[in-house]
Chain A
Amino acid sequence: MPPFLKQSLKTFAEAAANIRDNKETSLIAIFTISVAITILGLFLLVYFNLNNVLRGLSEKLQLVVYLKDDIQESGLKKVEAMIRDEEKIWKWEYLSKDNALRAFREKLKDKSAILEGLDANPLPASFNIYFKEGYRNYEEIKLLAGKFSAAQGVEDVDYGGGWILRFEAAIFFLKIFITAVGGLLALGLITIISNTVRLSVYSRHDEIEIKKLVGATRWFIQAPFLVEGIIQGMAGVVFYLGVLIIF
């Protein structure tokens, strides 16, 4: 056997013996690590879910460009060309006057009787525009809205300005909150784990001292702790997975 492998095996055996000899400390360490992983896992779960929700919401941000009833075919083409040329647009759809009315009827369902007496369609045709990621914010949308409202044949634009601002403020604070919680959590976990390590070092400080006095190098002293930490960490993960499977 090559000496390196022999030494590794010895280190591993020593780490295993240490764990056996310090059952309480090791169990506490394993338990602490699995609790830490559980908390971290829960946090990441919440974090990614929240991120998904936020993305879903921001995908729904839209700019509606209402067209004048008397818009010419050429005017319509011009607005459409503007949309096609616009880099920031993710997708868009055209809603004709008829389709708008149909959609409206569907929305009202049984109450659609209200619309019975209408002899003309009061709803305008529109373009519904959605934005690419990175442009789903108030400033960008307002800029585009301004551009479209100045175009010929456009009656009005609507992008729920106030709502977007409130949405952005909420996301801003949510992000700060999540970062703070995550930071505190990370700090807490680091403290807990470093204390566990300290506990295991402290429970053997006399042994470490003796090793130093007989001329053990730093690496020779630290290696068993490292291996022990890895074994305990893996045991912690296994324990955590076990709990996950049970519940």
Chain B
Amino acid sequence: MIQIFHLQKTYEGNNIPALSEINLHIQKGEFCYLCGPSGAGKSTLMKILMKMENYNQGQILIQGMNLAKIKESKIPYLRREIGVVFQDFKLLNRKTVFDNIAFPQEVVGKPRNEIKKKTWELLKYIGLAHKKDAYPLRLSGGEQQRVAIARALANDPSILLADEPMGNLDEEISMEIMGLFERANQYGATVLLATHNLSLTRRVMHRKIVLERGKLLAS
């Protein structure tokens, strides 16, 4: 569950706020699109939720945790609750597909055999079991995207943030990837998916949160 009250964020050196007067409630298990043109503030909002960026005003509660009150040393534990799919994937290019998916599980100190089991499960889930030993740079864009999604799901996060996960993938692959998010959502994850792909939001119906120039147009 995500609750945002009167959020305002201005990047240092800018005079126009990237986000202003944002009030938003997302229920546990909801699937929401975050729409809006380039520069609307979609990435900014996701970075704030991850505590990758701070904000100037307002209150944010994630699973009841007050974001402003989380200590520096507790940030890793917040991030373990949130799986993120970045537009540029951010895979570890020197690790294999398998190790990329295993990695966040090692971070939380899961036992080795559980990591193996879960990683295999995810590899089958994204349909890349045959490429487990490949390195990310040898994969197509859609394959890398799927690895990024598997990694985001590896610790069964309660919240899944995806920043334009179909960036410039074609329609068919976009739908495949959309299916992965749908299933994660069915398993109970709250999904927030940033996109400016209007045909997608028309084909698969979900709640739409629309941002423009840092303001909430609709939710």
- A residues apposed to B, CB below 8 Å: 3, 6-7, 10, 21, 206-207, 209-218, 220
Contact = CB atoms under 8 A, between A and B. Distances in A.
Contact of B92 (A3, A7, A210, A218): A210
Interface in B70-122: 73, 76-80, 84, 86, 90-92, 94, 103-104, 106-109, 112
Interface of B: 50, 52, 73, 76-80, 84, 86, 90-92, 94, 103-104, 106-109, 112, 151, 155
A216 B107 contact: yes
Given A210-B91, A211-B107, A214-B80, 13 more contacts: A21-B94, A209-B90, A210-B90, A213-B50, A213-B84, A214-B79, A214-B103, A214-B104, A215-B79, A215-B155, A216-B107, A218-B73, A220-B107
A206 B91 CA distance: 9
Contacts of B155: 215
Interface centre among A7, A209, A216 (most CB of B within 10 A): A216
A213 B79 contact: yes
A222 to B, nearest CB: 13
Contacts of B94: 21, 207
A213 B107 contact: no
A10 B77 CA distance: 22
Contacts of B108: 215
A229 B95 CA distance: 22
A214 B73 contact: no
A203 to B, nearest CB: 11
8 contacts: A209-B90, A213-B52, A213-B90, A214-B104, A216-B76, A217-B73, A218-B76, A220-B107
Nearest to A22: B94
Closest 10 CB pairs of A and B: A215-B80, A215-B79, A214-B104, A215-B76, A216-B107, A217-B76, A210-B90, A214-B107, A21-B94, A215-B107
Contacts of A213: 50, 52, 79, 84, 86, 90
Nearest to B79: A215
B92 A207 contact: yes
A224 to B, nearest CB: 12
B8 to A, nearest CB: 24
A206 B94 CA distance: 11
Contacts of B151: 214
A61 B211 CA distance: 88
Interface centre among A6, A7, A214, A217 (most CB of B within 10 A): A214
B77 A215 contact: yes
Contacts of B73: 217-218
B104 A215 contact: yes
Nearest to B152: A214
Contacts of B78: 215
A217 B80 CA distance: 10
A214 B83 CA distance: 8
A206 to B, nearest CB: 8
Nearest to A14: B106
A73 to B, nearest CB: 84
B148 to A, nearest CB: 11
A6 to B, nearest CB: 8
Nearest to B84: A213
A16 to B, nearest CB: 14
Contacts of A216: 76, 107
Interface centre among B76, B79, B106 (most CB of A within 10 A): B76
Contacts of B92: 207, 210
A223 to B, nearest CB: 12
A211 B79 CA distance: 11
Contacts of B90: 206, 209-210, 213
A25 B76 CA distance: 29
B58 to A, nearest CB: 23
Nearest to B90: A210
Contacts of A207: 92, 94
Contacts of B84: 213
Nearest to A18: B94
A112 to B, nearest CB: 85
Interface centre among B107, B112, B155 (most CB of A within 10 A): B107
Nearest to A204: B94
B91 to A, nearest CB: 8
Interface centre among B50, B106, B112, B151 (most CB of A within 10 A): B106
